[in-house]
A and B are shown apart, each in its own frame.
Chain A
């Protein structure tokens, strides 16, 4: 009896998130079709959705699995460049098919990268694990910065460090051009496609968490030694969470890149990894609803702060520090709570007087 109630608590939470995504989609899709939206915000819709996916994906590692990862943008980058190469190489297919294939291949490649990187990374603990994910993020960026990919009639050519090794036919086209990144490919992503992906990611993570596998992952997070003594292999489940998370980041990267016609490897640096981590932490560790909202608000916030001009990012930083202090310091939290209580009382008193 009791646990039927509980199951409904869990699924209620899950359905709330699905509803949130649907509302998000319907509202913005309506705004776009009725042209009630600024161009800059319209251009941000797909990136925002991608960052929401990134935040959910990172939350799987940081919140559910309990490992701090500082290199998540690396997997996004792998997905982004994979999808560009794949969609450029596919000819004679309709756009939507190219997009789907691009996302799938990007997901698979990012998952493989996640698995391979997970082997050394997940043997470490705490801050050491964090620094190594940071290192891998930088290594991925460094490698992609030196990658040259060209496509000609014979197929796809790869070269490292310089474009000389491509050996293409004269008609060939360079798709990925080292430090300049990928240029001149076709934009394929749509807001609808991005939201569908967000929905799928949400289903995967929520169903995973509320299953035998999810419980094992959380058990390892809460107490590794006890989990081992229950016959649960930490490496296996940490690996699973890390790989799934990398795969989702790859998918997000694919949609992100295919929203533009050029993409720079610098876009996926350490700062982007940190940005996503900020979404996760501010949204609440392990809280998927929070991740979605935080990603949405924090991508839009700098836009809203545009009127502050140069002070925009400064304000952002101050807001970030302030929020962290208020939510994590008991004294400050208490003071703010009493302030709001007093305020509410004043308001309700005032209301009664009238």
Chain B
């Protein structure tokens, strides 16, 4: 039981890191960035290639993949989303879907369809025993990394100038512009952070499951997006709670109910939560002005 719980929190931590990308971008640009899952995939391939083909040490490979994803995130935003700032949200959504297709098919051409097997960088580290539960080292690393990211991000948004600018833009773009905040660069930075986090998530995800293919990002992307909604989209602690709860539910459902139905159960819980908390667990209730 404890093993499953820890594994659940670990998977949930990865979801939480991905969910942050969705939730921050949603909070600030009010758009669902469907290509986010595919940025994870690109990041994973990047770190994979550096490690396997160029023999770059693991931390450096990870760092390089973060840089690549950050640049990719900013590029996507500038090329595809920025021109649509005043368009309908549906138009932006379809463009994001187009971007997702683009990245997946580009990956298919570069890396081909057959899966790559991500190296287990912790293979020399023994499994860790906590209170009778035996867990893989990567699980503990995921949880710790997630905690670190959450603390850093919370401090960043609350304490720094840039973080405050981000919150201002997410509240009211017009007013933020009048206050002298550069809305475009704030949005770019949000995409950069979200995409950088995607690279970390991709690294952790592939180290856990090892299988890597062009569609690797899709399902975790959808689930993390679900997690973001679950916790209340736009809320950073919401993404954390949503992600972890979703991870725990998924692992427990897999272990005790049915591995075939785990996804259905995860989505079922989401629906039930939204029925009672229509804006997610930590989402703000907005009263429509009449």
A332 located at the interface, meaning its Cβ lies under 8 Å from any Cβ of chain B in the complex: yes
Partner of A132, one of B86, B218, B258, B271: B271
B288 CB contacts on chain A under 8 angstroms: 225
Contacting pair A325 B271 (CB below 8 A):
no
Q: A127-B229, A128-B229, A324-B94 are in contact. Are A317 and B83 (CB under 8 A)?
A: no
Give the most central of A120, A277, A321, A329: most B CB within 10 Å.
A321
Taking the complex as formed, is B137 at the interface, i.e. its CB lies under 8 A from any CB of chain A?
no
Whether B94 lies near A131 (C-beta < 8 A) is no
Chain B residues within an 8 Å CB radius of A128 = 229, 274, 278-280
A332:B109 contact, CB within 8 angstroms: no
- Residue contact B88 to A328, C-beta cutoff 8 Å: yes
Structural contact, B95 and A325, CB atoms closer than 8 A = yes
Q: A125-B278, A142-B261, A161-B260 given as contacts; is B271 within 8 A of A328 (CB)?
A: no
* Chain A 118-167 residues near chain B, CB threshold 8 A: 120, 123-125, 127-128, 130-132, 134-136, 138-139, 142-143, 145-146, 161
Task: Give complex CA distance A94, B133 in Å.
Answer: 62
Q: Does A131 lie within 8 Å of B80, measured CB to CB? A: no
Counting chain B CB atoms within 10 Å of each CB, the highest count among A125, A285, A328 belongs to A328
With known contacts A136-B267, A317-B105, A324–B275 Cβ distance under 8 A = no
Interface of A is mostly: helix
Give the complex CA separation of A329 and B92 in angstroms: 11
Known: A139-B264, A281-B91, A325-B80. A320 touches B270 (CB 8 A): no
| Stretch of B43-51, B96-104, B201-209 on the interface side | B96-104
Query: Residue on B with the closest CB to A125?
Result: B278
By a CB distance below 8 angstroms, the chain A residues around B222 are 134, 138, 270
Q: Which chain A positions have C-beta within 8 A of B83? A: 325, 328-329, 331-332
Query: Chain B nearest CB: distance from A207 CB in Å?
Result: 26
Total B residues in contact with A, Cβ cutoff 8 Å: 45
Show the binding face of B for A, using Cβ within 8 Å: 26, 32, 80, 83-84, 86-88, 90-91, 93-95, 97-99, 101-102, 104-106, 108-109, 218, 222, 225-226, 229, 233, 258, 260-261, 263-264, 267-268, 270-271, 274-275, 278-280, 288, 290
**Extra 20 A-B pairs, beta carbons < 8 Å, given A123-B278, A139-B264, A310-B109:** A68-B90, A124-B274, A128-B229, A131-B226, A131-B274, A135-B267, A142-B261, A282-B94, A285-B90, A310-B108, A311-B109, A313-B101, A313-B104, A316-B105, A317-B99, A324-B94, A324-B98, A325-B95, A328-B84, A328-B88
- The list of the 8 closest CB pairs from A to B, nearest first, reads A135-B267, A317-B102, A142-B264, A320-B98, A317-B101, A328-B87, A321-B98, A314-B105
